[in-house]
Amino acid sequence: MSDSILVATLVRRLESAGYERLPRPFRVASVEFDFAATLRGKGARGLDLVLVVDTATGSPDDRSSDDVRSRVEALSRALDVTGSRYTLTLVIVGAVVTDDVRVLSETCRVLAVAAIDLKSADGNTLGDESPFDDYIRILLPLRLPPGERERHEDGPTGTLGLISGELESSVDQILVQDLVRGSYRGEQGVRAALGKRIDTVLGETTE
C-alpha cells in the first residue's frame, strides 16, 4: 500500500532529521507489526522508535482507535520481552480524538499532526516539509541560526554564561565553550570538540 501525501512528506522530514525507515511490516520477538510507517533514530536518538498511523486516508486498522491501541500495546509488550530500551512515539496523522490520545499516552508518547494542506495555490504539492515541524519538534534536532547561537551563548545569561556560573573555577572553560558550540552539530560535533581539546592539552604538556 502506497503512502498518502501527508505520510510520505512526514517520513521524508524525519529521514532528513536522521531517522531511517524500517520495512513494512517489521518484526519484534518473532511477531510482525504493521503501521503506516515506522522509523528508527540514529546516533543520539538511536533509542527512538517512531510509529505513524494515518487516520485520514490510511487502512481501516489505522482509522480504528481500538486497533491502533491494541497494536501499540502489543508492540510495547514485545519490546519489554526482548529487554529493549526503545522509546515509543506514535504520530497520528489526520483526525484525532482527545480521549484516544489520553489512553494511548499511557503506553507511549503521542504526537498529533493535523491534516496539513501541502498544496500551493496552483495545486502543486509543496516541496517544503517544514509545516510538520511544529507538531514533531520534540523528534527533531535543535538548530539555531548563527545569530541566535551567538545571542544565546554570549553574556552572563547566555548558554556559556549560565553553564560557567554553575561550574567550579578550576573547570577548563575553553573545553566548556568548545563543547557547547560543538553540540549544535550533534554528537559528532561534541566528539570532535573533545578530541581537539585533548590533543591541544596533551601538546602543551609535552612541550
Amino acid at 36: A
Low-confidence residues of the chain: pLDDT under 70: 1, 58, 115-130, 142-169, 184, 204-207
Task: Please indicate, yes or no, whether residues 111 and 37 belong to a single structural domain of this protein.
Answer: yes
Residues whose CB is less than 8 angstroms from the CB of residue 135 and which lie 6 or more positions away in sequence, other chains included:
91, 111, 112, 113, 114
**Single residue among 139, 157, 174 that ends a domain in this structure:** 139
Task: Please indicate, yes or no, whether residues 151 and 133 belong to a single structural domain of this protein.
Answer: no
Task: Please indicate, yes or no, whether residues 67 and 36 belong to a single structural domain of this protein.
Answer: yes
The packing angle between helices 159-166 and 173-183, to 10°, is: 140
Task: Please indicate, yes or no, whether residues 135 and 150 belong to a single structural domain of this protein.
Answer: no
- How far apart CA 107 and CA 21 sit, in angstroms, is 22
Task: Please indicate, yes or no, whether residues 135 and 152 belong to a single structural domain of this protein.
Answer: no
Q: pTM score, two decimals?
A: 0.64
Can you give the residue range of the structural domain that contains 45? 5-139
> What pLDDT score does 120 carry?
45
> What pLDDT score does 55 carry?
85
- How far apart CA 61 and CA 70 sit, in angstroms, is 10
CB 76 within 8 A of CB 51: no
By DSSP bridging, strand 37-40 and strand 20-21 are antiparallel
**Single residue among 123, 139, 155 that ends a domain in this structure:** 139
Task: Please indicate, yes or no, whether residues 126 and 162 belong to a single structural domain of this protein.
Answer: no
**Single residue among 111, 139, 167 that ends a domain in this structure:** 139
CATH of the domain at 99: 3.40.1350
> What pLDDT score does 123 carry?
46
- How far apart CA 78 and CA 27 sit, in angstroms, is 10
Amino acid at 37: A
pLDDT single digits (tens) 103-136: 888 889 999 887 666 654 444 444 445 677 888 8
* Total structural domains within the chain: 2
Backbone angles phi, psi at 93, to 5 degrees: -100, 120
